């Protein structure tokens, strides 16, 4: 369930999540299926809204009590310098997020992702990963190797 996002200027049919209904997700998982979720929601009257996909992913992870949340994108993770792929921050304690925002290291398109990651960590998710989903076996390499290939944000 969601509600219309109230802000100025009005963004139209953009909403914010107020509740995640997990029954159908859990039913699919129990049946051995992988649920595919869209980043839309409806309000109490049935009006459909677009919601931020990063926020939606975090809210679903929190509602399910997930141990990990993995974001796949077209960048290798959080970069200290966006122009330098070798500046990857491989592991980041959550208490270092705010200073990196203040320095401008975490900015623009990464802000909603990182903000939702912090919310997820505060709500019981153990680790949040940002990895390049274009790379073969990226999830396996991130989670099942010592170094990983992306960025993980962890509790301090």
Distance of alpha carbon 70 from the chain centroid: 7
* Confidence category of residue 147, pLDDT binned at 50, 70, 90: confident
Angle formed by the axes of helices 53-64 and 110-122, nearest 10°: 10
Q: For 17, phi and psi rounded to 5 degrees?
A: -75, 135
pLDDT given for residue 125 in this prediction:
97
Q: Across the chain, where does the E strand assignment appear?
A: 2-4, 15-17, 40-42, 48-50, 68-73, 91-93, 127-132, 151-154
In this prediction, residue 35 carries a pLDDT of: 94
Q: Right CATH number for 67-156 from 3.20.10.10, 3.40.1160.10, 3.30.200.20, 2.160.10.10? A: 3.40.1160.10
Render pLDDT for 48-65 as a digit per residue (tens, 0 to 9). Answer: 888 989 999 999 999 999
75: nearest Cα among 114, 120, 121, 125: 114
Tell me the domain boundaries of the chain: 1-51, 67-156
Query: Residue 128: exposed, middle, or buried by beta-carbon count in 10 A (0-12, 13-18, 19+)?
Result: buried
Query: Over 80: is that where the pLDDT of 74 sits?
Result: yes
**pLDDT above 70: percentage of residues in the chain:** 100
Are the C-beta atoms of residues 94 and 35 closer than 8 Å to each other? Answer: no
Q: What is the pTM of this model?
A: 0.87
């Amino acid at each position: 369930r969601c509600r219309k996002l109230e802000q100025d200027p009005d963004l139209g049919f953009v909403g914010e999540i107020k509740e995640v209904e997990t029954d159908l997700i859990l039913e699919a998982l129990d049946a051995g299926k992988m649920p595919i979720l869209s980043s839309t929601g409806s309000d109490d009257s049935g009006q459909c809204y677009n919601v931020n996909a990063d926020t939606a992913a975090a809210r679903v992870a929190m509602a399910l009590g997930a141990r990990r949340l993995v974001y796949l994108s077209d960048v290798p993770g959080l970069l200290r310098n966006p122009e330098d792929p070798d500046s990857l921050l491989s592991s980041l304690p959550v208490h270092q997020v705010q200073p990196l925002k203040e320095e401008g290291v975490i900015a623009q398109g990464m802000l909603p992702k990182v903000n939702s990651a912090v919310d997820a960590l505060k709500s019981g998710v153990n680790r949040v990963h940002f990895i390049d989903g274009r790379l073969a076996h990226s999830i396996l390499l991130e989670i099942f190797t010592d170094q990983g290939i992306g960025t993980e944000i962890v509790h301090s």
